[in-house]
């Protein structure tokens, strides 16, 4: 059986953020979103949208130089970790960040450049690939692939929201 997947065309940065917000509303403890794609493909815009839909008390910015930003939701204290693996030169560098503790913490997690730390990812995660659309410089093609039961449920819920 193949893993559930969904391909979606975003028309603009604002559209990418809106799509992220739809997913953010659905995000629960333990969900891991793995974002991959070229520079400028929309990963951080999507993460901003996720955090907005999740109702983060703080705004999301690119964590490239800090590597990990932690956002808390005021209403229930749930944490959202936003990780950027772009600057990690070696897998060992990522292991020293305390990823095991973050995943065990049962918070929600967004990882940009997740392909750089793939062996360290939990088995249940939602993989989201961002690609430039060939016919429009503002458009992006997002491909969602669920690995694990929880991520498959999350993807099904997103698919239902997109139908409405």
CATH of the domain at 128: 3.40.50.300
CA distance 92 to 128: 24
Mean pLDDT of 147-151: 95
Helix axes 43-54, 13-26, angle to 10 degrees: 40
Domain interval for residue 84: 5-163
Tens digits of residue pLDDT in 16-67: 999 999 999 999 999 999 999 998 899 999 999 999 999 987 777 765 566 7
Question: What is the number of H-type helices and E-type strands within the chain?
Answer: 5, 7
What is the chain's mean pLDDT, rounded? 88
Domains: count for the chain? 1
Q: Is 119 exposed, middle or buried (0-12, 13-18, 19+ CB in 10 A)?
A: exposed
Are 117 and 91 in contact by the 8 Å Cβ rule? The answer is yes
Q: What is the mean pLDDT of residues 128-132?
A: 96
- pLDDT > 90 fraction of the chain, expressed in percent and rounded: 60
Query: Shortest CA distance to 111 belongs to which of 124, 97, 98, 127?
Result: 127
Predicted local distance difference test score (pLDDT) of residue 88:
79
Say which DSSP state 55 is in: T
Looking at 48-52, 65-69, 121-125, 147-151, which range is the least confident one? 65-69
pLDDT of the residue at 105? 85
Identify the three-state secondary structure at position 4: coil
pLDDT band of 104, cuts 50, 70, 90? confident
């Amino acid at each position: 059986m193949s893993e559930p997947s969904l391909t979606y065309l975003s028309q603009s940065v604002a559209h990418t953020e809106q799509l992220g917000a739809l997913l953010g509303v659905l995000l629960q403890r333990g969900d891991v979103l793995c974002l991959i794609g070229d520079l400028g493909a929309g990963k951080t815009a999507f993460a901003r949208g996720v955090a907005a839909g999740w109702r983060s008390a703080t705004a999301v910015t690119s964590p490239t130089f800090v590597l990990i930003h932690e956002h808390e939701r005021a209403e229930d204290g749930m944490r959202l970790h936003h990780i950027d693996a772009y600057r990690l030169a070696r897998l060992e560098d990522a292991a020293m960040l305390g990823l095991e503790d973050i995943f065990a913490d049962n918070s929600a997690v967004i990882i940009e450049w997740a392909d750089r730390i793939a062996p360290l990812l939990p088995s249940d995660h939602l993989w989201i690939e961002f690609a430039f659309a060939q016919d429009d410089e503002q458009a992006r093609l997002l491909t969602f692939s669920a690995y694990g039961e929880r991520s498959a449920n999350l993807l099904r819920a997103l698919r239902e929201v997109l139908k409405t």
